Structure 1
Amino acid sequence: MKLRALTASLFIAAGLMATPGHSYAKQDVYLPVVSKGFMHEFWQTVKMGSDSAAKELNVKTSFVGPSDETQIDQQIQLIENTLARRPNGLLIAALDANALIPSVERAHSQNIPIVTFDAGVNSDIPVSFVATNNKAAGAMAADALAQILDGKGKVAIVAHNAGTSSAINRIDGFVEQIKQQYPDIEVLSPLYSDGDPQRAMNQTMDVVRANPDLSAVYGTNEGSSMGVATAIQSQGLAGKIKVVGFDASDAIVNFVETGVMQGVIVQDAFQIGYMGMKVLHDALNGNEVEKVIDVPAVLVTDENINDEAIQKIIKPLG
């Protein structure tokens, strides 16, 4: 999948909305998506999934996100703008689990059902949360690195956003698994790149210089992983300092294939978007939905990257 410089305006689809609970023509149903971003290939694949489900369901949708994953206020404004259009329901991936609570409460007061995906909010209002079990995925990353390191060494973490639930759980799952299972591995305090590859690259270079005995680095999302791998490659440390990351872009796949990264935890981004839209539509129609829907992640290495099942996740549309 090619990284495309998409703008939020390209994703916006027009449509009139009916109030939930009233009768409406199926084609008038509007179920928009407010994401954490749109530049990373992960979000583009999520959009493919939500668009695909919307087409199957014959409903209108749109997909917007802030210009980068630090812009919490911008995401809140996007949600407010979306609510002003009176959608029938709303899909949200929250940049901050607490900051978005008032927006979710406002939607609830307007009888607009909410489904969160990828990163939720600290509220019981959303009818469902569709995501990878990020804590389990963090533990999976810990096991992968521990096996590569033979159970000993020093590991740095370059994370994305401090306030988003996905980062919190991926870090907690990783750190807890290391502490419980691998006592000879030291984990440094997390660094936060806000998912910006340049910042993650600089942070990785700094932590390498400060820790000449560093064994490995764990990146917690696409942008962080890109920056980590770029830094390791540029310093001529590929294979010497091990890297396990999160999410698969074309560049990350290349890093795995060339040995710069020893593994990457890959979410089924297409299914996250697809299931999110399906679940929201079910809830809108009064069907019972599960409070949490786990879309499993897989560990991708140079040994399994060409497997058919893995390729379907990395390139869902071929």
Structure 2
Amino acid sequence: MQTHKKIVWMLVPLLALGAYTTILLQSVQTESGKDKSIIIIMKSNDIRTEFWQTVRAGAKTAAKEFQAKADIRGPLQETDVHEQIGLVEQAIAEKPQAIVLAPADDDLLVPVAEKVRQAGIKLIVIDSPLDGNPGDGFIASNNLDAGRKAGRALASMTKGRPAVAILSDKGSSPTATDRENGIREALAADQPAAVVGTRYAANQEELAYQATKQLLADHPEINGMICLNETATLGAAKAIKELNKSASVKLVGFGASIYEIKLLEEGVLHATLVQKPFNIGYLGVKAAVELIDGKKANPRDNIDSTVVTKENMYDPENQKLLFPFVER
């Protein structure tokens, strides 16, 4: 009987230690982030869209690193603003601790973004700003500086005498506005520079193609075009190639899709501004985790872009930008 009592008394501290260890492990698990729930809502979740799939890869990498539960969603088309609003409404109902949002419209998403804050959910905005900055933090490419780089690149290609047309998505886009302002600022430094005007293609390659053909017909003096997104770049390249003007019209675009890389190799696209979408996704989730942990996020994180040309596209650093590993 005495032996049994000794065994029982020996087990008591062991059981207490086990209970303490369990509590400690639960505490460590909580601090490590396994209970952190984040919903990421992109402009597009289309697997064919290189930019957003790379944003997705960055977000997934950060979620794994910080041991957060991340659910990534988005409409098929970037232009489907109302579907994105519905996705945000659904996310609010699910009550995650944070939402990372790439708004498809800087104005129409504001009311639902304010609902996120009212629900006590942390909000990080990525890629494009919202009117009034309702988020807890904003992470995006430095589009004004990217525009300056595009303008300077074209000025150097046209030997300081550019006659330029700008092809944009829509006039109300803050991203496009910043890029165009940067382009005009850079070109203004070259006194002989002339900007023929800006045309809008509504994020449609066919409209960009038609607009380019019309511009080149109406303004034969054009020796350079700057396109502010991938669809505009592809549409303009198609027209320039069809008209056999690749040598006389220098084309500068934005993006790093496989189609743009091919155009670089062919010499139809003379330079492209490559963003760092992986960084945007990664830093968006990282900022969300910091907010959940009670830390402050930077009000604004600007990410640089890189000018890639046919001559430097095979440099090791540029190869990483052009061919990031993306898990689909």
Q: In the alignment, what sits opposite 2:268?
A: 260
Q: In the alignment, what sits opposite 1:129?
A: 138
Whether 1:91 aligns to 2:100 is yes
> Which letter does structure 2 place at the counterpart of 1:255?
L
Whether 1:289 aligns to 2:297 is yes
Are the aligned partners of 2:36 and 2:289 in contact in 1 as well (CA < 8 Å)?
Answer: no
Whether 1:300 aligns to 2:312 is no
- Does the residue aligned with 2:57 lie in a helix, a strand or coil? helix
Q: How many residues align?
A: 295
Task: Indicate the structure (1 or 2) with the bigger Cα radius of gyration.
Answer: 2
Distance 1:171 1:270 in 2: 24
Q: What whole-Å deviation, never above 9, does each CA across 1:24-81 have from its counterpart, x for those lacking one?
A: 9943432122222234211111111111111222222233333323222222222212
Whether 1:61 aligns to 2:76 is no
Structure 1: segments with no counterpart, 5+ residues: 1-22
Q: Residues 139 and 65 (structure 1 numbering): CA distance in 2 closer, same or farther, change over 3 Å?
A: same
Correspondent of 1:149 among 138, 158, 170: 158
Whether 1:167 aligns to 2:168 is no
Q: Residues 188 and 88 (structure 1 numbering): CA distance in 2 closer, same or farther, change over 3 Å?
A: farther
Q: In the alignment, what sits opposite 1:275?
A: 283
Deviation of 1:296 (Å): 1.1
Q: In the alignment, what sits opposite 1:35?
A: 42
TM-score, normalised by the number of residues in structure 1: 0.87
Whether 1:207 aligns to 2:221 is no
TM-score, normalised by the number of residues in structure 2: 0.85
Q: Residues 200 and 311 (structure 1 numbering): CA distance in 2 closer, same or farther, change over 3 Å?
A: same
Deviation of 1:188 (Å): 2.9
Whether 1:111 aligns to 2:111 is no
Are the aligned partners of 1:219 and 1:246 in contact in 2 as well (CA < 8 Å)?
Answer: yes
> Which letter does structure 1 place at the counterpart of 2:137?
S
Mapping of 1:230-249 within 5 angstroms?
230-249=238-257
Q: In the alignment, what sits opposite 1:182?
A: 190
Distance 2:156 2:123 in 1: 40
Deviation of 1:176 (Å): 2.2
Aligned CA-pair RMSD: 1.8
Deviation of 1:164 (Å): 2.5
Q: What whole-Å deviation, never above 9, does each CA across 1:104-126 have from its counterpart, x for those lacking one?
A: 11101011111111111122331
- Does the residue aligned with 2:272 lie in a helix, a strand or coil? strand
> Which letter does structure 1 place at the counterpart of 2:204?
D
Structure with greater helix share of residues: 2
Structure 2: segments with no counterpart, 5+ residues: 1-29
Are the aligned partners of 1:80 and 1:103 in contact in 2 as well (CA < 8 Å)?
Answer: yes
Q: In the alignment, what sits opposite 1:195?
A: 203
